[in-house]
Amino acid sequence: MRQFDHHRPNPARMYDYMLGGKDNFAVDRQAIDQLAELIPEAVPLARANRAFLQRAVRYVARAGVDQFLDLGSGLPTQGSAHEVAPRARVVYVDSDPVVAAHAAILLRRSPGMARFIHADLLDPVNVLTRAGEFLDLDRPIGVLLVSILHFLPDSADPQGAVARLRELMAPGGFLVISHATTLGHLEDEERARGFYGGPSASGGTDRTPGQIREFFGGWPLEPPGLVQATDWRPDRPKLVGDWSLPSSLMAGTGKKP
Ligand X SMILES: C[S@@+](CC[C@H](N)C(=O)[O-])C[C@H]1O[C@@H](n2cnc3c(N)ncnc32)[C@H](O)[C@@H]1O
| Binding stretches for ligand X (CB under 6 A) | 11-12, 15, 49-50, 53, 72-74, 93-96, 99, 120-122, 146-148, 151
Choose between 122 and 186: whose C-beta lies nearer to ligand X.
122
Least distance in angstroms from the C-beta of 11 to ligand X = 6
Choose between 189 and 247: whose C-beta lies nearer to ligand X.
247
The span from the CA of 227 to the CA of 248, in Å, is 10
Least distance in angstroms from the C-beta of 193 to ligand X = 25
SS3 call for 157: coil
The DSSP code sequence of 96-116 is -HHHHHHHHHHHTTS-SSEEE
The span from the CA of 59 to the CA of 68, in Å, is 12
Residues 6+ positions from 141 with CB-CB distance below 8 Å: 65, 67, 68, 69, 135, 169, 170, 173, 174
Choose between 160 and 220: whose C-beta lies nearer to ligand X.
160
The span from the CA of 72 to the CA of 180, in Å, is 15
